[in-house]
Amino acid sequence: MGTEPVFKSDSRTIERIPISRAIPGMELAKDVYSRNDQMILGRGSILDAQKISKIMFYSVDTVTVYKMEVETEKTLTEQLKASVEFREFSQKYDKTVSVFKNSINKVISENREIDGEELMGEIETIIEQTGNNARIFNMLHCIRDYDEMTYVHSVNVSLICNCFAKWLEMSEDEKRIITLGGLLHDVGKIDIPREILLKPDALTRDEYEVVKTHALKGYAILKDKRIDDRIKMIALQHHERADRTGYPYGKSGDEIEPFAMIVAIADVYDAMTSDRVYRPKLCPFDVVQTLEDGNMKYNAAYLVPLLEQITEVYINHTVRLNNDSVGKIVMINRGELSKPVIQVSNEFLDLTKLRKLKIEEVL
């Protein structure tokens, strides 16, 4: 016998179901009578194995119960967004963006020195409060709803660079330099007209040429400041590519400051996984695939280990595939990082073998 249509009684939903579908914990919404009108169990009784057996003994085919509300398991992202930890992270993040914006505006308008101690103090407080690298990436994944601005992007890249430095086992001094370099890499964009940076449509060739000048502008702002020369080269070279397709000078791999190449990877990852006025954010695994496909543009000694670590961060995250099925990442495929193994119910899907399937969204 099939399930009858669900109907309402008072404020709770009730349904008539075959006794074969009854499970312990269900509550009866109506009295249960035998075929000769003898009451077996009263309304409000909570079913257990013994009560279900009793009903079946009297050959009762169906019972009317209150529909059990099945609580949907929250994704890791949903759990994190609802946590006190995330609220504290968001508050500190907002303060850091504000401090960075004010500091850079003073550098440009009043020709002040870069206060590296103040800026690093803000970034380090976020890092200390948040904990390990995976937690920082998860926090940034949750915070992608923020309006995209140069300052927000710079804070993100700085935090990602700090994670990269730890993964690459850099010294404390190197870690500090690349973290500050990530924060200052786009300082030249402050001098690019906002109507171009925030244009919702595709840029014209002339407008794109204007945007490209931010690397030279950034270097001009930093070149006479009392900061490490590698930070200045990060601002100048973070759009250079190992295959000479970058700008402003089209340099090759050996000619590019290594720290600038590392910041370039962080810059691309954050930019592509963030909402922009001209396009929505991309799935992190689409970005990983883009970076894998364009591996000749980057130094493989940095790119490969960094992408491995980034994808490891998303193990146990819930994802939606392009066939609308929802599952959990359970294993990363080292040979093809953008195509992990996904558990959907009791089935394990290896995306390296199921080529038509891909991760559409990290939930």
pLDDT in tens, 263-313: 999 999 999 998 777 778 899 999 999 999 988 999 999 999 999 999 999
* Nearest of 230, 231, 191 to residue 211 by alpha carbon: 191
Residue 61: predicted pLDDT: 87
Claim to verify: residue 221 and residue 260 sit in the same structural domain: yes
Residue 68: predicted pLDDT: 74
Q: Are 281 and 144 in contact (CB under 8 A)?
A: yes
Claim to verify: residue 140 and residue 221 sit in the same structural domain: yes
Whether the pLDDT of residue 4 is over 70: the answer is no
* Nearest of 93, 72, 180, 198 to residue 142 by alpha carbon: 93
Average pLDDT over residues 99-107: 93
The total number of structural domains in the chain stands at 3
Residue 1: predicted pLDDT: 44
Q: Which residues contact 345 (CB under 8 A, 6 or more apart)?
A: 327
On whether residue 14 sits in a domain, the answer given is yes
Whether the pLDDT of residue 9 is over 50: the answer is no
On whether residue 300 sits in a domain, the answer given is no
Claim to verify: residue 128 and residue 234 sit in the same structural domain: yes
Average pLDDT over residues 95-123: 93
Q: Are 273 and 247 in contact (CB under 8 A)?
A: no
Average pLDDT over residues 333-351: 93
CATH number where 123 lies: 1.10.3210.10
pLDDT tens-digit readout, 205-242 = 999 999 999 999 999 999 999 999 999 999 999 999 99
On whether residue 308 sits in a domain, the answer given is no
Question: Where does a domain end: 66, 85, 111?
Answer: 66
Question: Where does a domain end: 281, 306, 329?
Answer: 281
Query: What is the token pair recorded at 20?
Result: 């074969």
Average pLDDT over residues 17-38: 86
Average pLDDT over residues 66-85: 75
Containing domain of residue 332, as a range? 318-362
CATH number where 37 lies: 3.90.105.10
Which range (50-64, 124-138, 292-306) has the least confidence? 50-64
C-alpha span between 29 and 65 (Å, rounded): 5
Model pTM? 0.78
Whether the pLDDT of residue 141 is over 90: the answer is no
Claim to verify: residue 53 and residue 180 sit in the same structural domain: no
Average pLDDT over residues 334-349: 93
Claim to verify: residue 141 and residue 194 sit in the same structural domain: yes
* Secondary structure, 3-state, the chain: CCCCCCEEECCEEEEEEEHHHCCCCCEECCCEECCCCCEEECCCCECCHHHHHHHHHCCCCEEEEECCCCCCCCCHHHHHHCCHHHHHHHHHHHHHHHHHHHHHHHHHHHCCCCCHHHHHHHHHHHHHHHCCHHHHHHHHHHHHHCCCCHHHHHHHHHHHHHHHHHHCCCCHHHHHHHHHHHHHCCHHHHHCCHHHHCCCCCCCHHHHHHHHCHHHHHHHHHCCCCCCHHHHHHHHHCCCCCECCCCCCCCEHHHCCHHHHHHHHHHHHHHHCCCECCECCCCHHHHHHHHHHCHHHCCHHHHHHHHHHHHHHCCCCEEEECCCCEEEEEECCCCCCCCCEEEECCEEEECCCCCCCCEEEEC
Question: Where does a domain end: 257, 281, 305?
Answer: 281
Q: Please report the sign of the dihedral spanned by the C-alpha atoms of residue 22, residue 27, residue 30, residue 35.
A: positive
Whether the pLDDT of residue 7 is over 50: the answer is no
Claim to verify: residue 128 and residue 240 sit in the same structural domain: yes
Whether the pLDDT of residue 2 is over 50: the answer is no
Q: Are 205 and 284 in contact (CB under 8 A)?
A: no
Residue 73: predicted pLDDT: 63
On whether residue 179 sits in a domain, the answer given is yes
pLDDT tens-digit readout, 174-210 = 999 999 999 999 999 999 998 998 888 889 999 999 9
Binning pLDDT at 50, 70 and 90, where does residue 244 land? very high
Whether the pLDDT of residue 22 is over 90: the answer is no
Claim to verify: residue 155 and residue 240 sit in the same structural domain: yes
Which range (51-55, 123-127, 169-173, 195-199) has the least confidence? 51-55
Name the burial class of residue 25, with classes exposed (0-12), middle (13-18) and buried (19+) by CB atoms within 10 angstroms of its CB: exposed
On whether residue 2 sits in a domain, the answer given is no
Per-chain mean pLDDT for the chain: 90
On whether residue 186 sits in a domain, the answer given is yes
Claim to verify: residue 44 and residue 182 sit in the same structural domain: no
Average pLDDT over residues 249-264: 95
Q: Please report the sign of the dihedral spanned by the C-alpha atoms of residue 241, residue 243, residue 245, residue 251.
A: positive
Claim to verify: residue 249 and residue 348 sit in the same structural domain: no
Claim to verify: residue 109 and residue 253 sit in the same structural domain: yes
* Nearest of 353, 355, 363, 304 to residue 329 by alpha carbon: 363
On whether residue 173 sits in a domain, the answer given is yes
Claim to verify: residue 145 and residue 269 sit in the same structural domain: yes
On whether residue 134 sits in a domain, the answer given is yes
Residue 10: predicted pLDDT: 59
Residue 8: predicted pLDDT: 45
Residue 146: predicted pLDDT: 56
Residue 71: predicted pLDDT: 52
Claim to verify: residue 175 and residue 250 sit in the same structural domain: yes
- Better-predicted residue by pLDDT, 163 or 6: 163
